[in-house]
Amino acid sequence: MLATIILAAGKGKRMKNPHKAKVMYTLRGKPLISYVIDLSLKIESDKIIIIVGHQRESVINFISKEYNSEKIHFAIQEEQLGTGHAVMQTYPQLKDFDGNVLILSGDVPLLKIKTIKEFISYHNKNSFDASLISAKLDNPFGYGRIIRNALNEFISIKEEKDATEEERKTDEINSGIYIVKSKLLFEALKILKPDNAQKEYYLTDIFEYFIQNNHKIGAFLIEDQKEILGINTIQQLQDLENLYVNSNDNEE
């Protein structure tokens, strides 16, 4: 069983338009959120929960008109208190779900179906409790780094501000795309605390809980870094528009 959560509640402050949800900006004439929903349906998710918040009426109205699927549900994040807090809002709909939960971002449109299927297969075949997608970037500045041991096994995620000088030299980064056993996910979310400058609940902190409790974690390194690029500014949207013209559709 597979449930897919799509994070789509953010304000997108750097898009400079408070009257528009970030996931409703278009790439090649199609809202960003549509790419992620289409992928979620094509990988045959049993349930799709879209977390909405900022300008949620426009997002809900668009999706309700565009998609006629009983699989699609909405969870509301009234206050934007971080990605961990966002996923907490899905508990009422997933508390009885027993399977894997895939967590995607609504502003990452170039992720390929083939990649996600390989990621899910990697997670299942290795019997991981939780897995994430990583990528190697020429300039990893600002991203959480993936730290591995001598056997190339995942050890931890180190946020840039917490990483040592040596750890910052690592070019493998966390994409923010995860798959976690459902019971374990909500067990970990319960212990999250907003002990950071933003006073937010960070989803990445669940991996610290997994490590402390000796859960088996996988980091799936993808080759094409373009697939995990998200949108935070109008310039990034334009850059992705240019990339999309020169890349294959995410069918593959």
Give the tens place of pLDDT for each residue, 173-212: 999 999 999 999 999 999 998 887 778 898 999 999 999 9
Q: Is residue 181 part of a domain?
A: yes
**Comparing C-alpha atoms, which of 218, 216, 208, 174 is closest to residue 188?**
208
CATH number, residue 206: 3.90.550.10
Task: Look up tokens 């994070």; give the residue.
Answer: 7
Provide the pLDDT confidence category of residue 248 given band limits of 50, 70 and 90. Answer: low
Do residues 177 and 111 lie in contact, with contact meaning Cβ atoms separated by under 8 Å? yes
Q: In the structure encoding, which two tokens stand for residue 45, read together?
A: 């998710």
- What is the DSSP annotation of 16-36? S-TTS-GGGSEETTEEHHHHH
Q: What is the mean pLDDT of residues 91-115?
A: 96
The answer to the question of residue 168 being in a domain is no
Count how many domains the chain has.
1
pLDDT of 247 reads 60
What predicted TM-score, i.e. pTM, was given to this entire model?
A: 0.93
In a domain, 163, yes or no: no
Q: What is the Cα–Cα distance from 190 to 226, expressed in whole angstroms? A: 33
Please write the tens of the pLDDT for every residue from 116-159. Answer: 999 999 999 999 999 999 999 988 988 899 999 999 989 889 88
Residue 251 lies in a domain: no
| Residue span of the structural domain in which 19 resides | 2-135+176-245
Our measurement of the distance from residue 15's CA atom to the centroid of its chain's CA atoms, rounded to an integer in Å, reads 19
On whether residue 166 sits in a domain, the answer given is no
Within a domain: 149:
no
Domain-embedded: residue 144: no
Residues 6+ apart with CB under 8 A from 148: 154, 155, 172, 219
Domain assignment present for residue 68? The answer is yes
Amino acid making up residue 105: S
Where in the sequence numbering do the catalytic residues fall?
14
CB 209: neighbour CB atoms within 10 A?
Answer: 17
Count of Cβ atoms closer than 10 Å to residue 191 Cβ: 11
Burial 79-117 (b: 16+ CB within 10 A, else e): eebbbbbbbbbbeeebeebeebbbbbbbbbbbbbbebbe
